[in-house]
Amino acid sequence: MRAPFSPARKALAALALSVGLLPSGHAALFEDGEARRAILEMRQRVDGMQQAQQRSAEELRRLGEENAQLRRSLLDLQAQIESLRAEQAKLNGQNEQSLRDLGELQRRQKDIAQGVDDRLRQFEPLRVNLDGQEFQADPAEKRSFEAALATFRSGKFPQATAAFSAFLQQYPRSGFLPSARFWLGNAQYATREYKEAIGQFRQLLAETPEHARAPEAALSIANCQVELKDARAARKTLEDLVRTYPHSEAAGAAKERLARLK
């Protein structure tokens, strides 16, 4: 198959055909110089067309290369964007993990601090208000007294006697001391240790005569003396109670007892 004619070749062929088809009479009118000029002009036109085609081809090639380069640049840019997105996602994941780790660390620190505070509070003095007395006591001291009192109230009097005796020995300067002596005396009274009970009640009166439990302690001494069949001592104790604490409930009970002792 023959290659198609280029536009330049077509132009030369058309020129040659036009010259060849002219009648001989007209052809004679053209001189050699004019024919040569016409051929030269035609050749210049053909050369110009060829150069234009060449420039167009080069321009197309250049544009193609630029387009290819642009496409490569776009692909590189897209790859960089994807890489940046992946890196950003990784960083976001690391940040989220860091935030979770930080939150966990803060929670642990808070738990540790709370644990330290709780342990410190176990040793910090507590403000106690008991039987009209206000004082400071260690947490362990308060727990020990309350445990002994709970034992007494449950009716376990021998165990209560042992618990209050141990308390008095362990905390000889405690603010609970007067109340502890009072309940120890009552526990001993319940187990019929009357003489020991009288000793605790009298010590309470000697050490803290203004204590809220003092009138009851005096009445309890009289009760122990009655149990010991010492009516004379019981009478004196009741009379002293009425005289020393005339406005107390224990004084009213003492008057009734005195009436029965006559």
CA atoms in the 13 A half-sphere facing the CB of 96? 6
Rounded Cα distance, 165 and 47, in Å: 132
Would you mind telling me the total number of residues written for the chain in this entry? Answer: 262
pLDDT band, very low/low/confident/very high, at 190 (cuts 50, 70, 90): very high
Rounded Cα distance, 182 and 208, in Å: 11
pLDDT band, very low/low/confident/very high, at 218 (cuts 50, 70, 90): very high
Rounded Cα distance, 217 and 183, in Å: 10
Q: Quick one: DSSP state of residue 213?
A: T
pLDDT tens for each residue of 148-171: 999 999 999 999 999 999 999 999
Rounded Cα distance, 37 and 112, in Å: 108
Contacts of 139 (CB under 8 A, 6+ apart): 121, 122, 123, 124, 126
pLDDT tens for each residue of 79-129: 888 888 888 888 888 888 888 888 887 888 787 767 655 665 666 899 999
Characterize 34-47 residue by residue with b for buried, 16 or more Cβ atoms within 10 angstroms of its Cβ, and e for exposed: eeeeeeeebeeebe
Strands annotated E in 91-226: 126-130, 133-137
Question: Bridge-partner residues for 130, per DSSP?
Answer: 133
pLDDT tens for each residue of 40-63: 888 888 887 878 778 877 887 887
Judged by DSSP in three states, 59 sits in helix
**Are the C-beta atoms of residues 125 and 174 closer than 8 Å to each other?**
no
